[in-house]
Amino acid sequence: MALTVREAIPTGLAGATACYIGYDLADHGVGVAVIVSTVLAILSTGLSVGLRFQQAANDVQLFTCPEGCGVEIRTTNQPSDSVARLRELATDHSQHPAARS
């Protein structure tokens, strides 16, 4: 998965923040496990925010099965007729493999 510019900016900011906080925590004698956990949490947040920016910019829609069988369909910049067809497929549980077994 390649990062786009919209994902890279918040990820880069999170990386810089994580480095600064990690360095500052190490300077105050905080344990390595706490520093690693904190840095990973900040990086994870940055990636999550970047993904949300990407989704907002690309008209991403996510359709999930209302029965909770785990079927999900994500569309990106699709024509409305395709989106309607994919929404129908995702929300019709009778068409999912879990409903056939």
Binding site residues, Zn ion, CB under 5 A: 65, 67, 69, 71, 93, 96
Q: For the CB of residue 93, give the shortest distance to Zn ion in the complex, in Å.
A: 4
Task: Using the minimum distance from each CB to Zn ion, give the nearer residue, 62 or 69.
Answer: 69
Under 8 Å CB-to-CB from 9, ≥6 apart: which residues? 50, 53
Residue with tokens 């909770």: 68
Task: Using the minimum distance from each CB to Zn ion, give the nearer residue, 60 or 73.
Answer: 73
Task: Using the minimum distance from each CB to Zn ion, give the nearer residue, 43 or 86.
Answer: 86
Alpha carbon 55 to chain centroid, angstroms:
9
Backbone angles phi, psi at 60, to 5 degrees: -85, 130
Q: For the CB of residue 3, give the shortest distance to Zn ion in the complex, in Å.
A: 32
